[in-house]
């Protein structure tokens, strides 16, 4: 990667991302929206999330398998994810820029759990401490799936 693409990647990471996430450029987001309009884009709907500012990012927890066979391993992973976030929230002071990143991450964790798991499973995994910017919606929710 060189030239304009490298500059755009740097600017996105340093000026837009703000939180621990991999974001998409406006052009990449538009391409994913087009995929949704053309073919339903189930991959995009599953692996991307949009925040309240309209920034699209990779839903990295979407890699977890939530089938009956793999559910225990996925729940173990989510418990470890929660534990890591809670430990750092307890360790960091209010007003610390790093703490704000963990507060945002707590909101993402809770969003993933409540939007993906059964209510009883999600409730046991929730952190509850969130950053005001940790408001999410599924990617492309406003784009209907095409009819066959």
CB atoms within 10 A of CB 84: 13
Check the CA dihedral 117-120-123-124 and report its sign.
Answer: negative
Higher pLDDT, 23 or 123: 123
Q: What is the pTM of this model?
A: 0.87
Is residue 131 scored above 90 in pLDDT? Answer: no
Phi-psi region of 64 (alpha: psi -120 to 50; beta: other; left: phi over 0): beta
pLDDT digit string, tens, across residues 37-68: 888 767 777 899 999 889 999 999 999 999 99
**What does the pLDDT average to over 80-85?**
98
The residues spanned by each domain of the chain are: 4-138
pLDDT digit string, tens, across residues 102-130: 999 999 999 999 999 999 999 999 999 77
CA 26 centroid distance within chain: 17
Q: Smallest Cα–Cα separation from 88: which of 75, 100, 78, 76?
A: 100
pLDDT in the model for residue 130: 74
Tell me the residue ranges of DSSP E strands in the chain: 48-51, 56-58, 136-138
pLDDT in the model for residue 127: 97
């Amino acid at each position: 990667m060189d030239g304009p693409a490298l500059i755009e990647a740097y600017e996105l990471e340093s000026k837009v991302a703000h939180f621990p996430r991999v974001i998409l450029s406006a052009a990449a987001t538009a391409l994913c929206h087009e995929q949704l309009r053309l073919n339903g884009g189930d991959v995009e709907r599953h692996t991307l999330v949009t925040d309240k500012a309209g920034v699209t990012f990779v839903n990295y927890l979407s890699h977890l398998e939530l089938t009956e066979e793999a559910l225990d391993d996925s729940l173990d992973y989510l418990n470890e994810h929660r534990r890591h976030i809670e430990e750092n929230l307890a360790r960091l002071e209010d007003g610390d820029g790093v703490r704000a990143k963990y507060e945002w991450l707590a909101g993402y964790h809770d969003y993933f759990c409540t939007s993906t798991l059964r209510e009883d499973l999600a409730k046991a995994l929730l952190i509850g401490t969130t950053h005001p910017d940790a408001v999410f919606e599924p990617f492309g929710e406003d784009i209907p799936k095409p009819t066959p």
